[in-house]
Amino acid sequence: MTAETILFLVLGAMAGGFINGLSGTGTALFALGFYLVVLPPTTAVAIVAFMSVLVGLQGLWIVRAAIFLRPWRLARFVLPGLAGVPIGLMLLDVIDTGTLRIGIAILLIVYGGYFGFRSALPSFSRDTPVTDIAVGFLGGVLGGTAGVSGALPAMWLSIRPWTKSETRAVMQPLNSAILTTTVTLLFLKGAYDQTALTALIITMPCGIVAAQAGIMIFHRLSDTGFRRLLIILTLLMGLGVLMSEIA
């Protein structure tokens, strides 16, 4: 690999690893732009998906107590999410994914722009198992169809007045589960060829170290600060998706 390729791989791994360590999501948003400069699209997506799962393991560890405290809450997001992924993949042949991604991007921008800079954050405290199941399922569908599995969950979880560990105990496993499914499907399609494996050798240590830096900042955030971070990330996610579609 050339020095330029290595540089972009390192920058992408550090950016994606840091934001994953900080928030438990957003790896693709911050890393994919770097990878696409030097890698084919399929390989770039394969690297991002694998790195999301890898660096996400560190995030899972720091909220393990919150995960085991309310496993039923996590299950009603993750299980429907996994069921939604293959349905999303099947929909690829019958819907215009570009229009769908633009619509999702506009929704994220409006939501993040409206709530991100308000002094008082929205709050929805009562137990909502049916809505949680629907959000998890739609997250899986959108992950399989448009590659934005974290969009709706991030919006929904940002308005729940939970502690940052409770929120991350849903967000991180949900993303990891859906992306593990993505990695498996990409592996079966042969996406992890020699180029991908070489890129992973370069990106893995960088992403792991950067994630630790993000985790250090996560520990310093207040519960409200973490909720606001998620809302700002929805805005950035929407801008990133919109730019990728109109570029």
Find the largest Cα–Cα distance for the chain: 54
Report yes or no: 88 and 144 within 8 Å, Cβ to Cβ. yes
pLDDT at 127: 86
For 100, the token pair is 């769908």
Q: What pLDDT digit, counting tens, does each position of 121-136 carry?
A: 777 888 899 999 999 9
pLDDT at 247: 67
67, 99, 153, 223 from 162: Cα distances, Å: 13, 33, 14, 7
41, 168, 189 from 87: Cα distances, Å: 22, 26, 18
Q: What pLDDT digit, counting tens, does each position of 101-127 carry?
A: 788 888 889 888 888 777 777 778 888
Task: Tell me which H or E stretch contains 136.
Answer: helix 129-146
Question: Tens-digit pLDDT profile for the chain (247 aa)?
Answer: 789 999 999 999 999 999 999 988 888 778 888 898 899 888 888 898 899 899 999 999 999 999 999 999 999 999 999 999 888 878 877 888 778 778 888 888 988 888 877 777 777 888 899 999 999 999 888 877 766 788 889 889 988 889 999 999 999 999 889 888 888 888 888 889 999 999 999 999 999 999 999 999 999 999 989 988 888 888 888 888 888 778 6
Q: Answer whether 0.75 is exceeded by the pTM.
A: yes
CB atoms within 10 A of CB 62: 17
Q: How far apart are CA 29 and CA 244, in angstroms?
A: 10
Eight-state DSSP code of residue 119? S
Whats the size of the chain, residue-wise?
247
